[in-house]
A and B are shown apart, each in its own frame.
Chain A
Amino acid sequence: MKEKLESIRKEFEERLAGISEQSKLEELKVAYLGKRGEITSILKGMGQLSPEERPAVGQLVNKLRSAIETGLEEKTQQIKDAALKIKLSKEAVDVTMPGKTVTTGSLHPINQISDEMKDLFIGMGYEIADGPEVEFDYYNFEALNIPDGHPARDTQDTFYITDKMLLRTQTSSVQIRVMENKKPPIKIICPGKVYRADNVDATHSPIFHQIEGLVVDKGVTMGDLKGTLEIYAKHMFGPDTKIRLRPHHFPFTEPSAEVDVSCWTCGGKGCRMCKGEGWIEVLGCGMVHPDVLRRCGIDPEVYSGFAFGIGVERTAMARFGVKDMRQFFEGDVRFLSQF
C-alpha cells in the first residue's frame, strides 16, 4: 500500500510539472481529488483494510492528499503570475512618446509685471485704485497744475474727445480722483492704460501702461519717497540694484525727480543696454505740489505726500527680453504663450 501511495505521488508530481494551463490543472485536480479520482478511490477502498491497518494508511493517504492540494495551489499561483507577467509586458507603452496635450494659457507679460508691482506695494500697505481712461481735461491736466496753454501739454500729445474730455495721458489723473474722495492717510497705486498720440513703432505705442503711486499723510518726506523707490528697484531689478534721482520738472510735483536704476545687464559698468551710461531711466516722481493738495481739499501745511509714475512696458521689455513693443499688442499666441 505504501508503495502504491508513493507511486501515485510520483506520477502526480510528474504530471503536475508538465502543466502550464489552468484547464489542464483542473483536469489533474479531478483525476486525483475528484469523485472518481485516485485519492478518492483509495479512500473508498479503505473499508477492505483491517482495523489495525486503517489508522496508519489513513494518515498516509491524508498526507498525500494535502501534498497534492498544496501542489495544485502552488501551480495555480504560478500560472496566474505567468499570465500577469505576459499581460504586463503586453501593456507596456513607449513612455518616451509625448503626452496627450492639455493646453494651458498664460498671463500677458505686461500684466505679469503689473501684478508683481501690485503685490509689492500691497505688501507695503497700498490699496489699488482704478480710474477712467476717458477722462476730463480737469483731472488729467488742470488739477495737476497744467492749465490750458501750459507747455507741458505739448510733451504729451493728447488724444482729445471734446474740449473738456480726452484720453488720459497719465495715470496721475487718478491721484486727483482719490484725493477728492479720501482723507489722508492715503496710500494707493493705480495701474492702467494711458494714451498718447505716438505712432506705433518698436519703442512707441499710442497705448501703454503706467503704475501711479501716491502717498499723503502727515510728515511724508522726500527721504520716504527715496526709500520706497529703493525697495521697488531692488524688488524688480535685483537686490544689488542702486537708484539715482535726478532733479526734473513735473508741474504737479515739487521737488520732482527722474529716477535711474543701475543697469540690470551690466550692473552699472556701461553696456549696450544702458548705452554705456550704467543707468537706465525707469520712472518719474516727486513730492505732491502744495497747489495740487490744496485743490483736493488737503491742507499742505498739515499734510505732505509723494507720487511716482512707472512705465510698465519698459520693465516688461527688459525683464522678458522683448525688443519690439508692438508684440505686446499683436496677440500672437506664439509670443504670448512664452510667458
Chain B
Amino acid sequence: MIAPLKWLVSYTDLNINTKEDIHRLADEMTLSGSKVEEVVSKGGEIQRVVVAKCLSVQKHENSDHLFVCSLDIGADEPVQIVTGAQNMRVGAYVPAALDGSHIAEGRVIKAGKLRGVESNGMMCSFEELGLDCNDYEGGNNDGIMILQDLGEFKDFTEEELDKLVGTDIIPALGADDTVIDFEITSNRADCFSILGLAREAAATMNGRFIKPEVHVKEESDVRAEDVLNVEVKAPELCPRYAARVVKDVKIAPSPKWMRQRLRAAGVRSINNIVDITNYVMLEYGQPMHAFDKRTIKGDKITVRRAGDGEKLTTLDGQERTLDSTMLVIADAERGSAVAGVMGGLDSEIQPDTTEIVFESAVFDAVTVRRGAKKIGLRTESSSRFEKGLDTATCLEALDRAAQLVEELGAGKVCKGIIDKCAAAPEKRRVKCAVEDINRFIGISASQAEMEDILKKLECEPHFDEGFVTVPTFRGDLVGSADIAEEIARFYGYNRIESSLLSTCSTTLGHRSREQKIKDRIRNRMTGLGYNEMLTFSFVSPSVFDKLDLPEDSELRDAVVISNPLGEDYSVMRTTMIPSLLETLSGNHSHRVENASVFEISYVYIKTDKYPDELPEHRELLTFGGYKAGNADFFSFKADTEALLDSLKIAKYEFEPEKTLPYMHPGRTARVTIGGVDAGFIGQIHPNTARKWDCPENTFAAVLRTDVLSANITDVPQNRELPKFPAVMRDIAVVIDRNVPAGHVEKLIRERGGKALESCALFDCYEGAQVPEGKKSLAYALSFRDASRTLTDDDVNKFMKKILNGLETRFGAGLR
C-alpha cells in the first residue's frame, strides 16, 4: 500500500517534517507491524535547481534562436545561462538548474559553452522537473516554467517572490511529498487505507488519530429510493449493498490537491467522479464504484450470481466469461459489473454523464478472490475485498464520497441512502485477562498500560469484566491471543525479556537411529570421493521414454503436478537415474574431467490406495560418476563394497542384473542384503549415456536406505585376536566360464565352514592353457582354528570338502 505521507499525517496530530522525522516514523511503524518497504521522496531526485529571477535577456551573437540570460540566484553575482526557450522575459521567476544539478530522469546539468557563449546551467520546464503542467493552473509545456504565471503564485507580491529566489524549486512549488510503501498483511484489511495507516501511525507515535468529519448536505430534492431500486438476490455473498444517487453531475477534472494525492499514491487521475471513487477507496479501504445511471436499465440494480457462461465486457475492454460462483451487479437486463473486481464498460462514466450511482458494498471475500483469479483480473478493488471488509466502514465511505461530490461541486446528492444490509455490523467481545496476556507474552504490563494501548486502537477494554470490545473494522481480533498481539506490538516486541524455557520440562535432544545412519552414509560417501548434490524432485515425463522403459513399467505411473512450471518439471520422479545423469551431463558439458556425486533423497511411488493415501516417499542413496582414466565396473563396485563394509553391513551379495533397459546388461549387478533387494549398481547403458550427453563409462548405483539401515550392525562385538597360526592354501579351479565367481566363492565359504577364515580371488584366467568355454579361478584360502594349530590333515579334509562341492555343483576340476 503506497501512502503519501502528507495525506497520511493529515489525519493525525503528528509533526513529521524533517528527514529524521520520516525515518523515525518508518522505523517505528515497521516495529509496530506496518512494515515499511520503501520511502520515496517525490521530487527528491531534483537537486540544485533553485528559483531564479531573470535580470536580462539578450540575443545570442552566433544564433538567431538562442538567448543569453542573466539570472539572480540569490548569490553575490548573477549567473549567465543560454536558453533556446522563446518565452523568457526580464523579471520572470524561473527554475534554474545550476552547474552540477540533477533534473528529471537522472540527467545531470553541467556548465559549458553554447555556440561559444558561456552557459552555467539550464532553465527548466515542468517536464524537466518531472512535473505535470496540468497540475498547475496556467501551467503549460511551452518553454520555461514561469512562476508568476501560475495560479499558485498569482497573488504573490514581487517582494514575496524575491524571497523565494535562491531556494529549492520543488518545495517552493509544494511538490515535495514523500510516499511510504507499506507491506500490509492479509489479516489487516483496515490498514489497506490511508485512515487505517494513520490510526496505526498515531498509535505508534503516541499521537492522536483524527478521522475526517463527514457531513452530506443532500442538496437535491430527489430521494434516491424514488429513482433507483436495489435488490440483493444473493445476500449470503453480499452482506451489505449501499448506494447513493447524484444528479446534475458535471464531469470535469478534479482539483489539483486530489490529483496530487492520487498521483502520489500511484493512481491515474481520470475525472472528478472516478477520482472520487478512487480517492475514497484509498482513504477508507472501501472500493467504490460509480455507474452512469442512464445505462442502468429499468432503474434497478440487482446483485446476483452470474449465469454460467454469461459474458460481460469489463472497463479494460476485455470480454469476460463468468460462471455461477461469481457475483455480478446487474440492471434489469444484463450484468454491468463483476462484483468487487471491475466495472463494466457499458456503465462507465462518460464526459456527458449527468446522473450517477455510487456503489459501496461488502462482497464475500472468498467469492471475490476466486472470481478474480478465475477471470485472471486482480484489481485494487478485488485485493481489498478478498481480505474481508467491514459493513460499517462501507456506509462511512459512501458518505465520504457524497461529501466530496459536494465539495468539488461535481453534482447534487439525492436524499437518503439505499441500504440493503443482511448482516448489521456488530462489535465483538473478546474474552481475555491481563494476567493471561502477561504470562503468554512473558511481560508484566499493568492493566492501565494495556488499556491505553487498546484505546488507541479503538478497542474498549473491560478487563474487570474479563473482555475487550473490538471495533467492527478489526475482523482479525477474535481470541485472547489476538489481543495479546496488539498489546505486544505496542508494548514493543523488542522490550520483551528473553528467556529460555526455564519453566518447561527438560527434554533429551537427539537424532533417531535412521537419521544417524543417514549422516554416516553421507560422511562415508565423501570419504570415498563423492560430492553431495541436491537435485529437483520433479522431472519431465519424457525421461521415461529416454530411459527406454517398457510401456507398462510401473515407473511410468508417476505423481503428476497439475500446475507445473513447465513440462520439464511436471511429474514427481519415480527413479533417480535422470537426476543423476542430468547432473553428470552438466559436469561433462563444462568439461569437468572427473565427476562423482551422491544424494540421499526420495522417489515418489503411488501405492494401491493413492490418492486416498500419500505416495510412498522411498528414500534412496544414489551415487555415480565418470572418470577421465580407466574407470571400470570393479573400481565402482569397490566403492560400493567399501561403503557397505564401513557401515558394518555383512550379508550383501551381487547378482548379474540384465533387465534394466537403461543399464549395461553385462555390467550391472543387483545388490541384495540379507536376502532383500537393496538396489543395483553398474554402468549406464551406452545408449542412455549418449541421450544424456554423458561419457560412455558412466556408472550409477541406487540403493534403498531402509534396506541398508535394517542390516547395519549397530554395535559390532569384539572377537579375540587369533593366538594360533593360520594355514594358507591356494587353489585354482577350471570351471564353465558362465558360472559367476560370486557363486563359486559362496560355495567355497559354505563348504569351508567356520575354519575358513578368508577366501580371496586373486586370478581369473581364460586362454591358452584352459579349454575353450572354461575359465580358471584362483583363490587364496586361509584356515584357522581359534583353539589350536591346524594340522595338514585337518586342512586337507577341509580342502577335500570344498573341492568335492565345486565338482558336484559346477563340475569344476583342479587346474
Contacts and interface: CB of A to CB of B under 8 A. Distances in A.
Interface of A: 102-108, 110-111, 115, 118, 121-128, 132-136, 148-152, 154-155, 159-162, 164-165, 167, 185, 187, 193, 195, 197, 199, 206-207, 215, 217-224, 226-228, 230-231, 244-249, 251, 254-258, 287, 289-291, 304, 328-334, 336-337
Contact of B562 (A161, A231, A256, A258): A161
Contact of A218 (B370, B503, B584, B590): B503
Max count, chain A CB within 10 A of own CB: residue among B370, B534, B537, B598: B534
B126 interface: no
A91 B583 CA distance: 45
A223 B496 contact: yes
B466 to A, nearest CB: 14
Given A222-B440, A226-B493, A248-B185, 4 more contacts: A107-B532, A125-B508, A161-B560, A226-B499
A111 B515 CA distance: 13
B617 A133 contact: yes
Contact of B488 (A148, A152, A165, A255): A255
A217 B501 contact: yes
B387 A332 contact: no
Contact of B186 (A151, A197, A247): A151
A224 B440 contact: no
B648 to A, nearest CB: 21
B166 to A, nearest CB: 32
8 contacts: A128-B512, A185-B505, A217-B504, A221-B499, A228-B500, A255-B441, A333-B531, A334-B592
Interface in B180-208: 185-188
Nearest to B512: A128
A332 B503 contact: no
B380 to A, nearest CB: 14
A155 B186 contact: yes
Contacts of A231: 500
B792 interface: no
B301 interface: no
Given A103-B596, A106-B531, A160 B441 contact: no
Nearest to B602: A133
Contacts of B740: none
Closest 10 CB pairs of A and B: A223-B442, A221-B442, A247-B33, A149-B366, A255-B485, A331-B583, A249-B185, A227-B498, A331-B533, A245-B493
Interface residues of B, number: 90
A255 B522 contact: no
Contacts of A149: 365-366, 369-370
A330 B583 contact: yes
Contact of B509 (A111, A125, A134, A167): A125
Interface in B240-280: none
Contacts of A193: 537
Given A134-B559, A226-B496, A289-B481, A161 B596 contact: no
B535 interface: yes
A255 B484 contact: yes
Contacts of B565: 197, 199, 206
A211 to B, nearest CB: 14
A132 B614 contact: yes
B569 A206 contact: yes
B429 to A, nearest CB: 17
A178 to B, nearest CB: 13
Contact of A221 (B440, B508, B614): B440
Contacts of B528: 105
Interface string B539-583: 000000000000000000001111111000100100000000011
Contacts of A304: 440
Contact of A162 (B489, B531, B611): B611
A136 B442 CA distance: 35
A254 B485 contact: yes
Contact of A105 (B500, B505, B587, B596): B596
Contacts of B531: 105-106, 108, 331, 333, 336-337
Interface in B39-69: none
A288 B64 CA distance: 78
Contacts, number: 247
Contacts of A258: 35
Interface string B581-609: 01110110010101111100010100000
Nearest to B595: A333
B580 to A, nearest CB: 9
Max count, chain B CB within 10 A of own CB: residue among A134, A218, A246: A134
Interface in B334-392: 365-366, 369-370, 386-387
Given A165-B611, A290-B481, A336-B533, A223 B604 contact: no
B167 interface: no
B510 interface: yes
B706 interface: no
Contact of B506 (A103, A125, A247): A125
B534 A132 contact: no
Contacts of A185: 504-505, 507
Given A132-B617, A159-B561, A223-B498, A330 B519 contact: no
Nearest to B479: A290
Nearest to B590: A332
Max count, chain B CB within 10 A of own CB: residue among A132, A164, A223: A223
Max count, chain B CB within 10 A of own CB: residue among A125, A160, A333, A336: A333
Nearest to B387: A151
A47 to B, nearest CB: 56
Given A220-B501, A227-B500, A108 B535 contact: no
A221 B440 CA distance: 5
Given A151-B186, A160-B563, A126 B507 contact: yes
A155 B481 CA distance: 24
A103 B484 CA distance: 57
A199 to B, nearest CB: 6
B733 to A, nearest CB: 36
A246 B30 contact: yes
B509 A126 contact: yes
A189 to B, nearest CB: 9
Given A159-B563, A255-B481, A333-B597, A248 B439 contact: no
B534 A246 contact: no
B418 interface: no
B409 interface: no
Nearest to A103: B529
Contacts of A334: 590, 592
A247 B597 CA distance: 43
Contacts of A162: 562, 611
A176 B523 CA distance: 32
Nearest to B529: A103
B504 A220 contact: yes
B482 interface: yes
